[in-house]
Structure 1
Amino acid sequence: MRTPTTTRAARRTAVALAVCAATGVLTLAACGDDGDSGAASSSPRATAPNASDFSGEPPSALASSAASKKAEVKESASRAAESASQRAHDFEASVSAEVERSRQEFTRELDKADGKGNAMDSVSLTGKPLAETDNVRALVVTITNKTDAKASYAVRVDFSDADGKVVESTVVGAKDLAAGDRAQPLAISTKPPEPHLTAKVAQAQRY
Structure 2
Amino acid sequence: MSFLTVIASASLLAATGSDSIPRPAPSGPLVAPVALAVPFRAPVDTTKRARKAVTYSDGYYKRVAIHQALSWAMLPLFATSYVSGDQLLDKGDDAPDWAQTMHPIAATGSAVLFGANAVTGTWNLWEGRKDPNGRKRRLLHSALFIAASGGFAYAGSIADQAEENGAIRERHRNVAIASMSASTASWLIMLIGN
Larger proportion of strand: 1
Instruction: Find the structure with the greater CA-based Rg.
Output: 1
Shared fold per TM-score greater than 0.5: no
Larger proportion of helix: 2
TM-score of the two chains, using structure 1 as the length reference: 0.21
